[in-house]
Each structure stands twice: as C-alpha cells, then as structure tokens.
C-alpha cells in the first residue's frame, strides 16, 4: 500500500468526525459545543498570542525537564537492574510497588512539600514517566540473545564494550518503546499536575475555563493538547525510526526470506 493511500485511509475517520461535528453544531447550536470557527478563533486568540509565553511555554518546559529526568534515570537504573542479578532480585518488588502508585495521588503531598511552583510538577512528571522506561529497559536486557553474549566473551570484549556494542543495540527496540510510552505519560501528567494546584499552565487555564463555563476556551485547550501530543509523538517517531533503521531493515529482510 502506498504512503498516500495509507494517509488517506488514516484521515478518513477524523475528517468524517469533524464534518459530522460541524454539521451538528451548525444545525443545532449548543453553548457547550461551539461551532468549529468559534473554536478555532478562540484557539488562535488564547494560545497563539495571549497565553503562549505565560502558560504554554512553562508547561512545555516542565514537560521537557520531567521527561528528561525520567529518561535518564529510567535508562541508567534499567541497565543496572537488568545487568546485575542480585540488584534485580532486590529492586524488582520495589519497582512494581512504586509503579502501582498513581502519580496523580502524589500531587497533594508534593505540593505541601515543594509548593505550587514548577518543582512539584517536574517531580510528578518524572516520577510517572520513569517506570515505563525502567521496566522496558530491564525487559530489553533480558531478551538479549545469549549467543551474542557468549560471542562477546569469546572475542574478549569487556563489560563496558559488551554493554555498548551488544546489549544496548539488542535492547534498543524495547527501550524506545518504553520511552514512547513514558512520553505519553509525561504529557498526561503535565496537564494533570496543573489542574490540581497551579497558577499558570495549559491545565490551569483549561480548568479555569471549565469552572466559568467557557466552552470555547475548554475546547481550545483540548485542541491545543491534541496538537501538541501529535507533534511531540511525530517528532519522537522520526527519531526512533532513524535510530532503529538497522532493526527495521533486518526485520524486513527476515520477512522477505
């Protein structure tokens, strides 16, 4: 199937949904479901000009900082836990216990300790996004072919070289999968943390609009989050596809054989 055909099929359902919404809101006006032109105008007025530097930029900064911390800690901890048997046996129950606690539930105590500033939001984002990266890194380490490890020992590779040349490349598909899941979790927590205790941000502005029954602003906030989520995921997918081009090519060769 050609790329343009796949794109057309992928856009068919969203286009039909938008057309149906436009027809419904035009025929039967509803204060809680504004017409698309009203929604787009509010989106432009609110997010492209007035609140871009005061709310959108701080939210994205917290998102980037929290995700970077989660990615770094999750990868480092996953490598250690995946490679050191006694550490894995000791840490695995704690990891599964920690990931079972919803990060949103930690927002109130963190606000008490860190305040309503950006520090508590970055901490919540990092805490929620770290577990997908950590768990998939550990799982990726387990899936390394033992024959590759035997080969590395037979040719005299040290631990660091084995990790860099054998283990990490073999585990990278799983690691990128966890990093992409962590990206989605970080975006959700960015908004959630701003809805509970904040003075600015996308989540805060959307909740303020909901509290005042400002439906166009609510829908404009939802539209902004959808656009941001799509663009962030598209950028990550581009990076992942470039980094894993060797893996995709090998899988295609095996399928054709």
139-188: per-residue pLDDT in tens?
888 887 777 777 777 777 777 888 888 888 888 889 999 999 999 999 99
State residue 133's pLDDT score: 93
The separation between the first and the last C-alpha atoms of the chain, rounded to the nearest angstrom, is 20
- What average pLDDT does the segment 33-44 reach? 87
Q: CA torsion sign, 75 to 78 to 83 to 87? A: positive
pLDDT digits (tens, 9 = 90+) for 65-93: 999 999 999 999 999 988 888 888 888 88
Q: How confident is the model at residue 131 (pLDDT cuts 50, 70, 90)?
A: very high
* Alpha helix segments (H runs only) across 28-117: 36-45, 57-83, 85-99, 107-114
State residue 68's pLDDT score: 96
Q: CA torsion sign, 109 to 113 to 116 to 117? A: negative
Average pLDDT value over all residues in the chain: 84
Percent of the chain with pLDDT over 70: 92
Indicate the pTM of the whole model.
Answer: 0.86
Q: What is the DSSP letter of 212?
A: T
Q: Does the pLDDT at position 253 exceed 80?
A: no
Domains and CATH numbers, the chain: 55-199 (1.10.3720.10)
Q: How confident is the model at residue 64 (pLDDT cuts 50, 70, 90)?
A: very high
Q: Does the pLDDT at position 209 exceed 70?
A: yes
């Amino acid at each position: 199937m050609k790329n343009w055909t796949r794109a057309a099929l992928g856009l068919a359902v969203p286009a039909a949904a938008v057309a149906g919404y436009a027809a419904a809101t035009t025929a039967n006006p509803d204060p809680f479901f504004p017409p698309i032109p009203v929604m787009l105008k509010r989106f432009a007025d609110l997010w492209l000009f007035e609140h871009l530097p005061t709310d959108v930029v701080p939210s994205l900064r917290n998102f980037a900082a929290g995700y970077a911390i989660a990615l770094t800690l999750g990868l480092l901890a996953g490598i250690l836990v995946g490679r050191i048997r006694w550490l894995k046996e000791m840490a695995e129950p704690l990891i599964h216990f920690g990931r079972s606690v919803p990060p949103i539930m930690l927002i109130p105590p963190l606000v008490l300790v860190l305040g309503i500033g950006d520090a508590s939001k970055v901490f919540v984002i990092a805490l929620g996004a770290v577990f997908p990266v950590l768990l998939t890194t550990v799982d990726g380490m387990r899936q390394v072919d033992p024959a590759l490890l035997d080969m590395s020992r037979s040719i005299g590779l040290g631990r660091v070289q084995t990790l860099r040349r054998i283990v990490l490349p073999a585990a990278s598909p799983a690691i990128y999968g966890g990093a992409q899941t962590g990206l989605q979790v970080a975006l959700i927590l960015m908004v959630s943390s701003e809805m509970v205790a904040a003075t600015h941000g996308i989540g805060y502005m959307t909740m303020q609009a909901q509290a005042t029954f400002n439906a166009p602003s609510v829908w404009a906030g939802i539209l902004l989050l959808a656009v941001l989520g799509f663009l962030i995921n598209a950028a990550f997918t581009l990076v992942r596809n470039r980094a894993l081009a060797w893996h995709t090519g090998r899988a295609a060769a095996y399928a054709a054989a």
